[in-house]
Structure 1
C-alpha cells in the first residue's frame, strides 16, 4: 500500500499545485541554446560554490520570491517551504526546529538547538536570536541530515543557511516591495546597492512587518523591523574584504494559544478508571486571555489549591533587540583560497508570554564571538581539499526569569558559558573519470558552565493526598516581580512559606494536614561539562552523464550535552546520529525535467528531548528539562521533481515519506496516587534522590512509538503559468502543502496529535516584461486550516495548545532599478 501511495504521488505531481523548489539569484550561466531549460542553482552547502545538482547531499533551496510568497518573516515560517522541516514558535522569541523527526524543543537558555542555524556564514547559538533576517536574500538552504563535518556545532539533524545578497561591484541598483493584507498587515523590504569607485561597493537593506494578532485577545501581533549594511572592497585581484553589520528589533507579543479541551480523572465503583477528554469547542483563534477562555479556566477546580478561580492575566510582550557584526576575508592564490570570518553577535531580550503559564517573563543578554578559517584548494585535477578550524564562545546572562503556573512558580537567575573548538577537513579524490570519493572529518571540543539558582514556590491547601482539602479564599500565586515579593504576599496573610511540607511535620513542630502553606524549594546548580567528539562523512559520487549522477554516503552527527534546572537530573549527555544515504540527481528532456530522489536511514542514539516533567526533588517539582530518552530509527524517501513543461509553464513537487520508530524511549513521572495520562506502557517503581530520599515513580515506556514531528507523508506541490501580454506579463501561481498527522507530545495522546492538513495558496501577479515592476494579489491558507502544533495541560486540567496561522490575503507591489 505504501508503495502504491508513493507511485500515485509521483504520478500525480504534475497535475497538482505547491510551493516550487526555489531558484537562487546567483545562477551559473546556461549553455548556448538552453534558454528553455531549468536554471542551475549555485549553493555553498559544502563551503564551496557548486551547482545544487552536483552536490551529493539532500538540500532544499528557497529563493527570495518564494520567501515573500509564503510570508516568511520569522524562522518559524520556514516550515511552509520544505516538507522535511518542522519549525514553530515557542514562548516569546524562540523557534523550535525539527528535520525529518530530529530536533529538540530549545525554548530557554539552558540548551542548544539540534539544527544548526547559520546567518551570513555565522553560526547562531540561540534559537531566540533568529529574528529580523529574512529580507534581501540570495537564498535559504535547508540541509537535511547531520552536518558533522563542515558546519558550526551541534548539527545533529541538519542546518539552515540564511544567505543575504552581497554588495556588487560597479552596480547602482535598488529594489523595494510593499504589502498590505488582512489583520492590518503592513510589510516592506528595500535594498540599495551603490558602487564606491571601481573596487568597492556598499549595500544597505531593511525590512518591516507590522500586523495585529491572529488571536481574539490581541496576542501574537508583530512589530518588527531590521536593517543591514555591508561594504565590499576588492583590494587586489586576489584579496577581497567584506564587512557587515545588522540590527533587528522584535516587538509585539507572542501568541497566548487556545484551550483545546479539558482532561479529568474518572472514578468508578472500583476506584480510578482512567481519564476523559472533553473538547472545549473553542475556535483556534480564541486566545487564553479572552474573557470566554478565562471564564472556563476560572470555573475549573484546582485540587492542589482546593478551589476554583485561576485566570490567565499576565500580559505578553516582546521587546527584543539583536545586532551583529562580521567580516569576511578571501585571499585567492594559485595554491588555494583562504577564507577567514570573525563575528560578534549580541541579543538583549525582555519578553513575557502565557501558554500554560499565568505569565512567564524573561530578561536575558546573549553574547557570542566566533572565528572560522578555511583553506580550500586542489592538487591537480583529481584532488580537491578543504581544511579549517572554528572557535565559538558564548555567554548568557539571565538576571531574571519567572514562570508563574498559578500553583507553582520558579524565580530564576543564572549564567551559562560555552567554549567550543573544532578542526575540520574534507578531501575529494577522483581516481577515474566520473567517480568522486569524499572523506571528511571534524573534531569538536565543547566546554560548558552553568551557575544559577531557581527559587521554586509550590502552593498547597493542606495535604495533597485524599481526602480533598478545600481553601476557597487561598490566593493563587500572584504576579509578583520577585521571590521576596511573593513571600511577603503570603506571609502578610498568615500563610507560612517553609522549606519543609507542613503535612509531614507533627503538630508540635508546626505541622498540619489541613492548613495552607507555600513550599520553598531552592534548586542551585554550579557545574561544568566537557564533551569531545570526532564526527565524519564518507561519500561516493558517480557522474553517469554531465546531468545525471548517483551518490551514497555515511555520516555521523553530534549534539553536546547541557543542563536543566532540575534536582537529580541537572545535566544530560550528548546525543549522536548515524546517517546512511543513497540518492540520485538528474536532468532530462533537454534540461527541462529535474528528478532528484534520496533514500535514507538514520540511527539516532541517546536522543535529547526537552519537555515539561518532574525532577527528583522531595517532593518533585514541575520543571522544563532536557533528558536523554533513548534511541530511534528513521527511514525515508525524498522525491523532488521540477518540470518546465513549456517556456512559460513550471510544475514542481517535493514529496517526503517517513517511517520512524523509537527503539527505546523511557522517562519517569511521579507517583502521587493517580497514574500518568499516557498511551505508553507504565509501571510503578522507585528512585533514590541524591539526598537519599526514596521517591515513588512511574516508569513510562514509549518504545515502539513514532518519532516526534515526523508525519508519514508530507509534500509541497506547485504550478506556475506565465502569460505574455506584449510589454507586460501575467503570472498565475497555485500551490498546496500537505502534512500527515504527527505527534509532538511524549504522552502520545490522540487529542494532542497534529492532524493531517492541506494548506493551499494562490496568487496573480501582473508585471512588466522585464520584471522592473509588479503588482500581486495573494491568498494563503485558502482552506483556513490551522494545524495543531502542540499542547500542554495546565494546573486546572485544561490543555493550552497552539496552532498554525489562519487564512491571510493581501496585495503586494514592488519594483527595481
Structure 2
C-alpha cells in the first residue's frame, strides 16, 4: 500500500516542531533534575527491582566515552543486540538504524546515509561513507562482507567526519569493533543456525590465556545458503527460429558459500601497554549475486521468492573472492599521553562472472563474430567478468591525554595507499550457441591499475570551560593523489562498422578472445587534491545525564578525472566534494529507564559528486562525474524505554528532505536535450523512516526464561535513477518486520531461538537500476517496464532478501 508523499512544506513544519521538541527538555530537565537524581539514588539502592538502561561505552571520537556523553548523531548495536536480532550481514543494520539504505551489488556493499552516497564504484571512485573494522578502513565494497562476525559492537556515526576520519567519510562512518583477546580467562561460544533455502550457519570463538601477559583468540564462521533467484523457462525467436532455454540451463543466483576466520594475539607486558596482532581471512563463493526483473516483481506483487525469478542465462556464473587483513595495534601510556599506533595490510583477490538475468534483446543487435569470419547479427546473452586485485596499506598514529582534563584532545597522522587492479570486461554470447566460449565477443571494459594515496595530519580537542560547557574544535589537512595506468577497450563501433582491434600482441598471445582481456587505447589519468576540513561545536551538559550540543563540520572526498571531457575532447578533471553540515542535538536519560537522542541537521552540499554515463558528440559515450549543488536537511530521533526489568521498548523516527539544486542528466546532457533533475530529490532518500521494537522476557520460576522480541521498520518511498538514460523509478513505501522467541534453560548454557525476518515477505528495490531506454520516454518513468524498442524483461534492480526463518542454537563457556 502506497502512502501519500510528504511535501516539502510538511517537512518544514515538522522541522520547526522538532526545534520546539528539542527545546522542551530545557525546562523539563531544570524542573526535574532533583527528582531524577533522587530516582537515580533510589534506584541504586533497589538495583534488583528497578529497570535501568545500561551505560554504553563507545570510541567513535577515538577515545573512550559513553554514548550519552558523545556529542554526535551516533547509533550503537552491541554484540548481544546483533545476536538477538539475527544480524549476520552488514545490509541488515539498515532495518534497525535510521538514515541508512544499504544495497548489495556486484561491486559489494554500498551505503547511503542521510541521502549521501557514492555511485562511482570503479577503481578510481571512492566511498562517501567510511567503513572501518577495528580502526582499519575497508575501502572496497566487495571486501566488507568478510569481517562481520565475533563482534563486540557496531557504531554508526551520521554526518561528515572530516576531522577524525578524513577521506571518504563525507556522509558518516560505520565502525565495526570486534571482540578482543582477554587475559586470564578461558572462554568462548558456539552458534548454529538452520533455516529456509537450506541455510546452515556456524560461528564459534575461543579465548585462551597464554601466561600472565599473553592471550589468544580465534573465531570463525561458515555461512552456506541456496540461492533465492530462480531461473524460469524462457523462449525467444530470431530470424524465424525459436530458441528455448529451460530453467535448468542456468544456476540459481544470490546464494552464499562464505567462510572466514580471525586470529588475534594480545600481549600486555605492563598494565598500561598492549600490543595486538590480528589476522583475518575470508572467502566468498557460490554463483554470486543477480539483479531482479521488474516484470517478475510486478507479476507477483513484489511478494516472496517468486518475485525474484530471473531469465536463464547459460553462461557459467561464479563468485570467487579471497580477502585477508593483517593488522597490528600498539596502545601505550607515556606519562600523561596515551599513544596508539595502527598499521595494516589488506589483500583482495576478487573474481566474479556475472551473467545478466535480462532478455537477450536487452543488448540490442550486435556484430557477434566479426573476427571469426562470420558477419552474423543477432541478440546475445550478456555477462560481465570481473577480476580485481586490491592491495591496501594503512598507518595511523594518534596521541591523546591519558586522563580527564580541562582540555581533552586527540591528534595524529594518517597514511593510506590503495593499489586497485581493475579488470572488468563485458561480454556477449551467441543466442544460438551460448556455450561456445570461442565465439564470445568482448563488448567493452577497463584493464588498469589505479593508485589512491593520501596523507593527513589531524587534531580535535574539547575545552571544558566548566563542568557544564565545552567547546569543541578540530582540523585536518589531507593531501590526496589518484593516478591510473591502463587501457579501456571498445572493440568495435557498430554504427560506424569499425573492425575490432588486433587479436595478438608482440609475443603472439591472443587478446580480445575470452577470457583474455580486450586491450584498447591508453586510458591513463591523474588528479591531485588537498583540503583542510574542520569542525567547531558547543556542548552544554545541563545535568549529568542531559547533553545538548551544536556543531558545524565539513567533509571531504578528493576530486578525480573523467575519461572524456566534452569541452577539451580529452581527459578532464572534476572537483572535490564540498559539504558543510550544521547540526543541533540532545541526548540524555530523562528517567533511569528512558533514554532519548534527537538531532536536527542541515547540509550545504555545494559540490556533490554524481557519476553517470553520458553520450557526447560523435557517439562518444563515457562515464562522467559532475559536482552538482545539493541541499539536505532532516530530523532524527532514537529512544529506548525499559518498561520493566524484563521489558524494553525502543524505536526511531527520521525525517529527510533532499534535492538537486541544479543537475542536468541523460545521454545528451552536454549536447542538447538534457533531462533536468533540478529540484528533484536524491536517490535512496526516503522522506520518512521509523522503527519500533519490543523485547520481553518471561521468567518460568526455576531460573529459566522465554525471551520474546518483535520489531518493524517503515520507510516511505524513494527514487532510484539511471542517470545515463535520464530516467528514475520510485520504490513504493514499505514495512519490514521480524520476530523471535528464545528459550534459555536454568541449568544449561544452551539457548534455542526460533526466528523469522521480513515477515511481510516483500521485496524492495535498493539500487542498480538498469535497462531503461530514454527514447520517447518522459522524465520519471516510474513503474514503467517498456521504453522504445526495449523488451519488457529488461528493467532490473538490486534488491534485498525475501522472508528468512529458522532456528538458532548457541552456548557460551
For the superposition of Structure 1 and Structure 2, which TM-score range results when normalised by the shorter chain? 0.7 to 0.9
Separation in 2, partners of 1:84, 1:764? 28
Counterpart in the other structure of 1:49 = 64
Separation in 1, partners of 2:404, 2:738? 50
Separation in 2, partners of 1:801, 1:522? 30
1:528 aligns with 2:526: yes
Superposition TM-score, scaled by structure 2 size: 0.80
Counterpart in the other structure of 1:89 = 104
Separation in 2, partners of 1:158, 1:395? 24
SS of 1:578 mapped into structure 2: strand
Q: Is the 8 A contact 2:698 2:707 kept in 1?
A: yes
**1:212 and 1:482, CA in 2 relative to 1: closer, same or farther beyond 3 A?**
farther
TM-fit CA distance, 1:482: 7.6
TM-fit CA distance, 1:439: 0.5
Selected match of 1:701 from 649, 660, 676: 676
Separation in 1, partners of 2:611, 2:395? 30
Write the deviation string for residues 396-453 of structure 1: whole angstroms up to 9, x where unpaired: 223x320236798113210011211010001211112211111011100001111111
Which stretches in structure 1 are left out of the alignment for 5+ residues?
Answer: 12-29, 263-276, 295-311, 465-473, 476-480, 489-519, 671-684, 688-695
Write the deviation string for residues 523-549 of structure 1: whole angstroms up to 9, x where unpaired: 532221111000011111111111111
Q: Is the 8 A contact 1:525 1:570 kept in 2?
A: no
Superposition TM-score, scaled by structure 1 size: 0.79
1:724 aligns with 2:722: no
TM-fit CA distance, 1:566: 4.8
Pairing 1:179-190 to 2, within 5 Å after superposition:
179-190=193-204
Counterpart in the other structure of 1:419 = 453
1:714 aligns with 2:689: yes
1:240 aligns with 2:274: yes
**1:750 and 1:780, CA in 2 relative to 1: closer, same or farther beyond 3 A?**
farther
**Stretch deviating more after TM superposition (746-755 or 354-363):** 746-755
TM-fit CA distance, 1:781: 0.6
TM-fit CA distance, 1:338: 0.5
Counterpart in the other structure of 1:145 = 159
Separation in 1, partners of 2:614, 2:558? 22
Q: Is the 8 A contact 1:387 1:425 kept in 2?
A: yes
TM-fit CA distance, 1:85: 1.3
Counterpart in the other structure of 2:213 = 199
Q: Is the 8 A contact 1:258 1:285 kept in 2?
A: no
Selected match of 1:99 from 113, 116, 126: 113
Counterpart in the other structure of 1:159 = 173
Q: Is the 8 A contact 1:722 1:731 kept in 2?
A: yes
SS of 1:53 mapped into structure 2: helix
Selected match of 1:572 from 564, 571, 574: 574
Counterpart in the other structure of 1:59 = 74
**1:616 and 1:450, CA in 2 relative to 1: closer, same or farther beyond 3 A?**
farther
Q: Is the 8 A contact 2:660 2:680 kept in 1?
A: yes
Separation in 1, partners of 2:734, 2:761? 10
**1:751 and 1:285, CA in 2 relative to 1: closer, same or farther beyond 3 A?**
farther
**1:734 and 1:446, CA in 2 relative to 1: closer, same or farther beyond 3 A?**
same
Counterpart in the other structure of 2:599 = 598
Selected match of 1:733 from 695, 699, 709: 709
Structure number having the greater helix percentage: 2
Q: Is the 8 A contact 1:256 1:288 kept in 2?
A: no
**Stretch deviating more after TM superposition (659-668 or 521-530):** 521-530
Counterpart in the other structure of 1:744 = 720
Counterpart in the other structure of 1:642 = 640
Pairing 1:420-499 to 2, within 5 Å after superposition:
420-458=454-492, 460=494, 484-485=512-513
Counterpart in the other structure of 1:679 = none
TM-fit CA distance, 1:96: 1.0
**Stretch deviating more after TM superposition (426-435 or 30-39):** 30-39
Counterpart in the other structure of 2:770 = 792
Write the deviation string for residues 188-224 of structure 1: whole angstroms up to 9, x where unpaired: 1111011111121111101111001111131011000
SS of 1:169 mapped into structure 2: coil
Counterpart in the other structure of 2:588 = 586
Write the deviation string for residues 549-593 of structure 1: whole angstroms up to 9, x where unpaired: 10000000001123455565654321111110000011122x101
Write the deviation string for residues 223-272 of structure 1: whole angstroms up to 9, x where unpaired: 0010001011111223211111110001113332222149xxxxxxxxxx
**1:156 and 1:225, CA in 2 relative to 1: closer, same or farther beyond 3 A?**
same
Counterpart in the other structure of 1:538 = 536
SS of 1:753 mapped into structure 2: strand
- State the superposition RMSD in angstroms: 3.2
Counterpart in the other structure of 2:806 = 810
Q: Is the 8 A contact 1:594 1:643 kept in 2?
A: yes
Count of aligned residue pairs for this structure pair: 692
Separation in 1, partners of 2:307, 2:390? 30
Separation in 2, partners of 1:225, 1:380? 42
TM-fit CA distance, 1:792: 1.2
Separation in 1, partners of 2:84, 2:572? 44
Q: Is the 8 A contact 2:119 2:610 kept in 1?
A: yes
Counterpart in the other structure of 1:610 = 611
TM-fit CA distance, 1:457: 3.1
SS of 1:706 mapped into structure 2: coil
TM-fit CA distance, 1:486: 7.4
TM-fit CA distance, 1:659: 1.4
Separation in 2, partners of 1:327, 1:2? 47
TM-fit CA distance, 1:707: 1.6
Counterpart in the other structure of 1:331 = 332
SS of 2:416 mapped into structure 1: strand
SS of 1:484 mapped into structure 2: coil
Q: Is the 8 A contact 2:564 2:624 kept in 1?
A: no
**Stretch deviating more after TM superposition (188-197 or 763-772):** 763-772
Separation in 1, partners of 2:630, 2:428? 33
Separation in 2, partners of 1:182, 1:124? 31
Q: Is the 8 A contact 2:695 2:708 kept in 1?
A: yes
SS of 2:164 mapped into structure 1: coil
Selected match of 1:119 from 133, 144, 156: 133
Q: Is the 8 A contact 1:138 1:165 kept in 2?
A: yes
1:774 aligns with 2:787: no
Counterpart in the other structure of 2:345 = 344
1:316 aligns with 2:317: yes
**1:610 and 1:3, CA in 2 relative to 1: closer, same or farther beyond 3 A?**
closer
1:38 aligns with 2:53: yes
TM-fit CA distance, 1:812: 0.2
SS of 1:457 mapped into structure 2: coil
SS of 1:150 mapped into structure 2: coil
SS of 2:513 mapped into structure 1: helix
Counterpart in the other structure of 1:627 = 625
SS of 1:102 mapped into structure 2: coil
Counterpart in the other structure of 1:363 = 387
Write the deviation string for residues 636-659 of structure 1: whole angstroms up to 9, x where unpaired: 111111000111110001111111
Counterpart in the other structure of 1:505 = none
TM-fit CA distance, 1:3: 8.2
Separation in 1, partners of 2:14, 2:473? 36
**1:178 and 1:580, CA in 2 relative to 1: closer, same or farther beyond 3 A?**
same
SS of 1:698 mapped into structure 2: coil
